[in-house]
Amino acid sequence: MKAISFAVALFFSLTAVLAQDSQVLTAVATNNMARVNGTPAGTMTTMAAYDLRYEGTKGSKYFIDEWLTGELIFVKENTKAPKSVPLKYDSQNKELLFKRSVGDSIVVNPAQISGFIINDAKHNVSYPFAKFENLKTEGGTVPVAYLMVLYKNKTSLLKYVSKMMNKANYSAVSNVDRRYDEYRDNSEYFIQKPDGSLSRAKLKKSSVVKALEDKEEQIEAFIKKENISFKNEYDLARVVDYYNGL
């Protein structure tokens, strides 16, 4: 009889353990365990479902993750403010952050600056940005935008540094199994003519030729001669540089 009782007890113990080993765990929150909404459970029992499939976030919303020394270019040259400061650019919200000496950070008022420079001393490179208003992008008009200057001349090449959040999606009805949020690059390129006008340009031959259509034949011949495939922004800069020499 004792052997049977022991076997029954063992069976129920194993069943209880196996029931916990599930991809989605159900937690019984009692007394000192918090409820789902964060308030104390008290003497009530709350059932909360925790989905363990979510894997977190990949990537970063920042142009460069770390704080780097940079320079603020003020609209008023006599502005009494430090010009060399720790900067970080939020390429999702399109905001420039400035780290104060007390340790916290604030958003730089775009009305006070015409641009900024981020210096990456570790890689010996600087990233200059210029401010533009009412920039027409594929996502709509941006009231205030900072464009990185990739190549500067009579006609310049600029980059609208931008990232977007692609949310996790592992719903059974969507046939998608992406268990993480991810920041993805959705930057755009612009060619600025001497009169200040901007033309959007993609990493495609047809788009570049259209942006530089006043020299269409020469541009097409150069692209063909140099076998330019527009795999990266360097190829785009080469074409703009050639255009300046025409």
Is there a single domain that holds both residue 92 and residue 195? yes
Is there a single domain that holds both residue 36 and residue 76? no
**Which structural domain range is residue 90 located in?**
58-201
Pairing of strands 57-58, 181-185: parallel
Helix ranges (DSSP H) in the chain: 2-20, 205-211, 216-225, 233-244
Is there a single domain that holds both residue 34 and residue 75? no
The last residue of one of the domains, among 17, 34, 52, is: 52
Is there a single domain that holds both residue 11 and residue 74? no
Tell whether 45 is covered by a domain: yes
Q: pLDDT below 70 — which residues of the chain?
A: 1-52, 54-55, 168, 170-178
Number of independent structural domains in the chain? 2
Q: How many CA atoms lie within 13 A of 96 on its CB side?
A: 29
At residue 101, the pLDDT reads 86
Tell whether 124 is covered by a domain: yes
Query: How many residues make up the chain in this entry?
Result: 246
- In 3D space, the residue among 165, 153, 149 whose CA is nearest the CA of residue 114 turns out to be 149
Is there a single domain that holds both residue 117 and residue 38? no
